[in-house]
């Protein structure tokens, strides 16, 4: 069975009825190429690390274009489609031909998923029944707060009552997952507890909490920090404690990113499974692993259990896949082995990474590791614990095999 992705295009801030106050794409500057694993060896910059990371689409695609692309993708699939996911740089709820799109995709009689929507484009609560009747099976719906006045203020939702009514109807009929960026002093505390209660009473499958990021080290790499001048931000530990407490307080699943998924024990749930850890390959080579500041201690523990005697080096950037050349430039080169493994999705050109990490005169070999080692809350929300553990086993086996293949 295959998964079909339907990309509507669209531009953040323009094809979503305006930026939310906390949107990560606000104030994005320039079109600098970061470099990434998709770049050609002799050229820094490609469509992914120049335009894609900024979701720099030219606007929503026409319904005809979406239909043609969908047909073309279906023709090259060898298996039957068992799921269709609607996504894009803009908000699907704001797509001009949204009703027709849903009818078109619904005619395929395959479960529909909306990967993300703020609901800001829903002015008529009746759209919920239209979605259900045409096969919508799952949605990730940004709520921010169950208080319409807060949605109006922080999300700039012109019809928050209608948006919440749509979510309420979907909660009672399909797998509806809510999402909320948590901003201290805005929608946390008693307001957040009231939002959780509202969702649970209406039958939501879960709530994904996202810690608000306001600094470069927290992941704002597009020249747009801070998003909100002077805004307080939760520390990683504070946020993890908040997610854990709420998950214990309510019966629906509540998880958070960057940490964590208390119901599953992820990220890095494998640390609680000694029998699975024993099944990972032994580390035989010597190589330095570079990663983000949040994942570093977890990765060090897993690898050390399997015989790793080198160091996992953390950079200031919290999230590994958002590491850039500037992060690598801050690494203490005297602590590195002759072989260095960087995250597979790091936004650094391979040639530049080698130049930076060999600046002390030691010609180091720089290798990319796996794209992922675990599942963050946005991914694990729809997964079982076994599925998360399988993903972690696969990721760490790949990392250890990379160390053994290239390590000295």
Q: What would you report as the CA-atom Rg of the chain, rounded to the nearest whole angstrom? A: 22
Beta strands, E only, 105-199: 112-117, 136-142, 175-182
Element (H, E) at 199: helix 189-202
Peptide bond into 267 cis (omega under 30): yes
> So what's the pLDDT on residue 102?
97
CA distance 28 to 187: 25
Q: Which H or E run includes 87?
A: strand 81-87
Read off φ and ψ for residue 340, nearest 5 degrees: -125, 135
Determine if the peptide bond prior to 258 is cis (ω within 30°): yes
CA gap 107, 256 in Å, rounded: 35
DSSP 318-347: SSGGG-BHHHHHTS-GGG--SEEEE-TT-B
The HSE-up count of residue 13 (CA atoms within 13 Å, CB side) is 13
Q: Give the burial class of 41: count Cβ atoms within 10 A of its Cβ; 0-12 exposed, 13-18 middle, 19 or more buried.
A: exposed
Q: What pLDDT sits at residue 78? A: 80
Q: Name the token pair of 289.
A: 């692993």
Distance (Å, rounded) from C-alpha 150 to C-alpha 289?
A: 43
Say how far apart CA 375 and CA 10 lie, in whole Å. 27
Task: Give the DSSP letter of residue 405.
Answer: H
Give the Å distances, CA to CA, from 113 to 3, 63, 64, 116: 10, 18, 20, 9
pTM, rounded to two decimals: 0.93
Which pLDDT value is given to residue 30? 72
CA-to-CA separations, 56 to 5, 51, 269, in angstroms, rounded: 18, 5, 35
The pLDDT tens digits along the chain (408 residues) read: 689 999 999 999 999 999 999 999 998 877 789 999 999 999 999 999 998 898 877 899 999 999 999 999 989 888 889 999 999 999 999 999 999 999 999 999 999 999 999 999 999 999 999 999 999 999 999 999 999 999 999 999 999 999 999 999 999 999 999 999 999 999 999 999 999 999 999 999 999 999 999 999 999 999 999 999 999 999 999 999 999 999 999 999 999 999 999 999 999 999 999 999 999 999 999 999 999 999 999 999 999 999 999 999 999 999 999 999 999 999 999 999 999 999 999 999 999 999 999 999 999 999 999 999 999 988 898 899 999 999 999 999 999 999 999 999
* Contact call for residues 114 and 136 (beta carbons, < 8 A): yes
Burial string for 208-229 (b: 16+ CB within 10 Å, else e) reads bbbbbbbebbbbbbbebbbbee
Q: In what order do the strands lie in the sheet with 288-291?
A: 312-314, 288-291, 339-342, 365-368
Q: Provide, for the chain, the percentages of residues in helix, strand and coil under a 3-state DSSP scheme, each rounded to the nearest 5.
A: 40, 15, 45
């Amino acid at each position: 069975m295959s998964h079909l992705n339907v990309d509507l295009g669209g531009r953040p801030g323009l094809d979503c009825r305006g930026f939310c106050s906390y949107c990560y794409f606000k104030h994005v500057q320039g079109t600098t190429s970061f470099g990434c694993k998709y770049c050609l060896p002799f050229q820094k910059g490609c469509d992914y690390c120049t335009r894609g990371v900024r979701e720099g689409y030219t606007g929503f695609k026409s319904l005809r274009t979406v239909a043609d692309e969908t047909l073309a993708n279906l023709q090259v699939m060898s298996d039957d489609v068992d799921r269709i996911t609607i996504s894009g740089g803009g908000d699907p709820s704001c797509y001009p031909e949204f009703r027709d799109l849903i009818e078109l995709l619904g005619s395929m009689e395959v479960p529909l998923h909306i990967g993300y929507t703020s609901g800001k484009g829903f002015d008529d609560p009746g759209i919920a029944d239209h979605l259900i009747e045409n096969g919508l099976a799952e949605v990730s719906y940004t709520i921010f707060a169950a208080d319409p006045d807060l949605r109006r203020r922080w999300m700039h939702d012109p019809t928050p009552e209608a948006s919440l009514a749509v979510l309420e109807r979907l909660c009672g009929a399909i797998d509806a997952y809510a999402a909320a960026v948590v901003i201290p002093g805005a929608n946390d505390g008693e307001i957040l507890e009231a939002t959780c209660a509202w969702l649970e009473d209406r039958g939501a499958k879960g709530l994904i909490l996202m810690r608000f990021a306001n600094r470069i080290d927290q992941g704002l790499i597009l020249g747009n920090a801070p998003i909100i001048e002077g805004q307080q931000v939760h520390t990683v530990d504070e946020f993890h404690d908040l997610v854990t407490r709420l998950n214990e307080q309510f019966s629906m699943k509540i998880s958070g990113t960057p940490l964590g998924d208390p119901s599953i024990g992820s990220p890095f749930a494998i640390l609680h499974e000694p029998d699975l850890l024993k099944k990972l390959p032994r580390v035989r080579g010597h190589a330095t692993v570079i990663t983000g500041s949040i994942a570093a201690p977890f990765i060090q523990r897993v690898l050390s259990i399997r015989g790793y005697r080198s160091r996992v080096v953390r950079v200031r950037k919290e999230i590994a896949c958002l590491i850039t050349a500037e992060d690598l430039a801050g690494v203490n080169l005297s602590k590195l082995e002759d072989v260095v493994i960087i995250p597979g999705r790091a936004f650094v050109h391979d040639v530049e990474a080698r130049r930076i990490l060999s600046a002390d005169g030691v010609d180091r070999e720089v290798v990319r590791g796996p794209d992922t080692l675990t599942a963050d809350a946005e991914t694990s929300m729809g997964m079982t614990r076994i599925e998360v553990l399988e993903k972690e086993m696969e990721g760490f086996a790949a990392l250890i095999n990379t160390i053994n293949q290239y390590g000295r």
